Structures are given as structure tokens and as C-alpha cells.
A = this chain, B = another copy of it.
Amino acid sequence: MTATDTVDLSISGTVVDVTNGTLRETSVAIDDGEIVALGDRPADREIQTEYIAPGLIDAHMHVESSMVTASRYGNAVLERGVTSVVADPHEIANVCGVSGVRGMIEDASYTPLKMRFTAPSSVPASHLQDGGATVGVEDVRELLADERVIALGEVMNIPGLLAGDETVHAKIEAARESGLTVDGHAPRVAGDDLQAVARYLDNDHESVTAAEALEKLHAGMRVYIREGSCSKNLDELIALVDRDDVDSRRLSLCSDDRDVTELVELGSVDFAVERAIEHGVDPVEAVQMATINTAESYGLPFGRVQPGAPADLVCLSDLTSWDVDHVVVDGVPDPTEGIGEPPATTVETDTVSFEAVEPADLAIERLSGGPVRVQVIDSIGRIQTARMERELPIERLGGGPEVVTPDPAADVVALSVIERHGGDGSIGNGFVHGLGLDRGAVGMTVAHDAHNCLVAGTSFDAMARVANHLEAVGGGVATFDPDTETMETLELPVGGLMSDEPLASVNEQFRTVETAAREMGLDHEGGVHALTFLALEVIPERRLTNNGLVDVEAFEYTDVVLE
């Protein structure tokens, strides 16, 4: 190829040169999917734009949080200028194990977005709950051999890492042997413990304060600034960029989790770039944090505009407001235009299985007549919970036994977690404060990390209806309003976590369910999503599993009824 040969595509504008950290007016010559020159070349097609940035890379995210399959996700965010994501298939692995991960990797091949994966390192999250699968050392090793798997997924078992747990270290060793990155997950780890984990973990996306992030940077870790749905840390952390003792090239932007509504309405990592610029960050630096910095973190060849790089580009009419004109992937402009339906997913779709439950199965029997003191999960923030004590009445359930009964007037409702992976069908029952529900029930098969079937409600009858309905449809999110006798459902048949319909349609259905829940009084700031964390037995202070209530600090089961 010489300078007079005609190339496939030439794009002219101001290039965001993330390699050198500067803006420069030039043309980008693209042939056969690759950037072949910066400079004018005769071309079959020419695009004139204002700015030419590398396609954005989301440094850490979970596709499952969007509730759509990988191909649907990819097509949706591509239009925003996101051309790659580093996806940790942690959730589907908890349900379907390696086969779920492989299915998601295959799904991802049906979107032009370059989805790269990490091998989930922490499945199951703990021994206290029964999930659908485990991912062992050999599984990790097998996954790491796939060229689309570029890292060991976020290592969550920090106590195990510190104590020299063999399995944790064997997984890390497997990644090192393959020359791959090890993603970290070390919330609030500091001091001596941080120094110890920094030997093994290359990055962390869990910092919520600038001081926490700074300590991690100074221990040699890369810091990913997270702007997701559960955790929005950018406002707190963005000042790091301008510190003298920080090199912004050590920072990346990520979404971690992004629910379908925010994804549709606000965007993905493109939103974080825009927000960083709003905070006064130099636009080139902001783009670096979502392109080359992340590419270097994982040794990816794209995320830069230079000869030899894959032509993954975003044409923008405005850089600071991230107004996307065209997206180019491997030299193809707007590759999602007219894209057909993806083939059916190969991720399992029949993953929700338990014997039909009766209302009494979801209640705690109690023979003595008077009210009892119980430990209640207090849902105090987006994903945080606290221990709370409340006195609850004993009432006869229909014609059945006497049971501890929720007290919606005091904002205490019943909560059950039903093993749904075809295991023993065990059910853990308890109570939760802070949802605001004043009638009916809300349930879902998305319940981090074991993703059992979780139902909250003011009546055991409504709860049982919702649970049995979810089992029948193969999973999803559902509400039952006894006033109107209406069941609203977002079906998520793919692993009980995802839909294979387009993002916009899933968002619409989710809004319907969310609205129904709000009608029934749900007033938690996290909405329906808040419920999905009530079974997450690794985050303080109290969580409910299919085996019962967990005291997270003690990391053991604890009784609901206190006597």
C-alpha cells in the first residue's frame, strides 16, 4: 500500500490523539479495517467531521446488569461511541457456570462491539448460599485460554487472598502464567492489607473516596473510576486527575453495573466521559481514561488513533458534549445500521426450577401467642443494609399455622429467598425494613450473587403467587397487586437474568414493573433494583439466603426470631 493507493475510507477532522495526549487536525486513512495512515489519501468514501476519537472502552462492567443479552447490549451502546467493553460474566457464571460464560461469549460475537471478557474468579461468592454453579481453578484456566478472555475477573475474596487461600492464589497464578491482568475488588481495603493485596491485584474499581483511590494508586494499582447505577463515584474521585502525585494515565472509567433505564436514558461509559469533562477535566484526558488507559491495562490493540491500530473510531460534532455523528468499528461506519436479529442465545433459558410454593412455605411458624422480637434487614441505601430489631405480631395464616407476620404500617415486610437452581429447593424466610411496600409482592430471579428467587411482600399469598409465576416463566422480575389482581412481569428467560429482546423494549417492560411496584408503595431510592442486593451475603450487615439469615461480619447464619 503506497500513498497513492485508494483506501476504503478517509475521515477528516481533529483527531483526539490519546497516545500523545493532544488534539491534531488531520485525516485518518482506513483500509481493510485498519488505520493505515494519518494524512490525506484518496478514498472510496470520505467523512468530514469535527472530532475523531478512538471508540470508548468500558473498563469493567457486567452485561447482566442491563438485563439484556450481550449482542443486544453491544448494539445499544455502540451508537453512543462505545466500541468495546471488558465484561465480567460473574452473574451468569453463578447461574450457569462455564457454559453460561461461553454462551455469553458466543452471544457477543453477534454484535460489532468488541466485547472482551474476564474469567470469573469468585463463583460462588460464599459457601453460605446455594447458587447454580461454581467456577473452579480448572474452569478459570480453560476460560483464560480463550483469546476473548483477557483477565482474571475481579478477585472478591480479599480475606482468602490475605490468608493465602490456595484456590484464590491458584486462579491468580493461572492468569499470571497466561500473561494476563488480574482485576481487583477491594472496597475499603487500606494500610497493611492494601499493600499485601497490591502484590496480586492490578486494578480496583471499588474506591468511593479520593483518599481510598489515592492509596491504591500509590500502591501501584490502576484505579477505575466507577459511574454506574448502584455506585456513582465520579463526582468524588474525579479531582484525582489534577493531583501532582497522580498520573491520569493510571485512571480508567467504568460503569460496573448499569441498569437498563439509566443505560437507555443516560448512557454507559460515554456518560462518564461527558461528566468528567463537565467537571473540568481536559477532554483529551477524559477520553484517554476511557480508551488507551484501559487498552494498556489489558494489552488491547485498539483505543488509539494511530497507524496499525484497528479502525475503531467515533466521529463527533462536539467533543465536550460527546455528540456522536458516526461510529466506526474495524473500518465499518455505523455497523449496527440495518443489523439483523441476533440468533437465539446459547445461554441456558430454563434455569428457574423449584416445586410450587405455598404461602406457609414463606413464613416462619411460631406457636406462642404474643408478639416476638426479630432481626430485620434494614435496607438503608442503594446496596447497603443494617441490622435492625423489631417486634412483630403472630397471626394465623389462613386456615394454617400461626406465623410471624409482617407489619407494613411500620415498613417491615416479609422476605423469602427460594433456591431456584434445581437443587434442594430450600427456602430462607425473614423480614426487611425500608422498602415502603404497603401491599402485594415484588419478586425476581436476579438476586446477587447466587441469583435465587427473592420475593418481598406484605402477604405470603401474594409472595407465593409471584414466586410461582416467576418459576413458570423461567425467571424475571414481577409484581402482584392484590387490589387490582394484576401481575406485571419483565420476563428474563436467559439464565433468569437477561432478556433476548432489544434494550428499548426491555426498558419499557421494566418501567411497567417498576411503576407497578411504586403504585404498591415501593419508595426505596433504588427502586426494584434495591431488592436484588438483599440476598448478597458478602456485604454488611444482614442478608437473607436460601439457607437463612446471614450475619455478614461473623460470616455465619443467625436466627431471625430472637428469644
Please report A residues at the B interface, Cβ cutoff 8 Å: 1-3, 17, 19-22, 24, 29, 34, 36-39, 162, 179, 191-192, 195-196, 198-200, 217-220, 244-247, 249-250, 296, 299, 304, 306-309
Contacts and interface: CB of A to CB of B under 8 A. Distances in A.
Nearest to A197: B307
A10 to B, nearest CB: 13
A2 B308 contact: no
13 contacts: A3-B191, A3-B196, A17-B218, A20-B247, A22-B244, A36-B195, A37-B192, A37-B196, A39-B195, A179-B299, A220-B307, A296-B296, A299-B299
A350 to B, nearest CB: 40
A192 B247 contact: no
Contacts of A218: 17, 20, 24, 38
A199 B246 contact: no
Contacts of A245: 17, 20-22, 24
Contacts of A249: 247, 249
Contacts of A246: 20, 22
Contact of A250 (B20, B29, B37, B307): B20
A199 B30 CA distance: 12
A190 to B, nearest CB: 11
A346 to B, nearest CB: 29
Contacts of A250: 19-20
Number of copies of this kind of chain in the complex: 2
Contacts of A179: 179, 299
A293 to B, nearest CB: 11
A3 B220 contact: no
Contact of A195 (B20, B38, B219, B247): B38
A479 B466 CA distance: 98
Nearest to A15: B218
A250 B196 CA distance: 30
Nearest to A244: B22
User: Top 4 closest A-B pairs, CB basis?
Assistant: A220-B306, A3-B192, A37-B195, A199-B308
Contacts of A306: 198, 219-220
Given A299-B299, A304-B220, A196 B19 contact: no
A299 B180 CA distance: 11
B196 A2 contact: yes
B199 A19 contact: no
Contacts of A2: 162, 192, 196
A308 B220 CA distance: 9
Contacts of A247: 19-21, 249
A13 to B, nearest CB: 16
B24 A199 contact: no
A191 B3 CA distance: 9
B219 A307 contact: yes
Given A19-B250, A179-B299, 9 more contacts: A2-B192, A3-B191, A22-B244, A22-B246, A39-B195, A198-B306, A198-B308, A199-B308, A299-B299
Contacts of A3: 191-192, 195-196
Given A2-B192, A192-B2, A249-B249, A199 B307 contact: yes
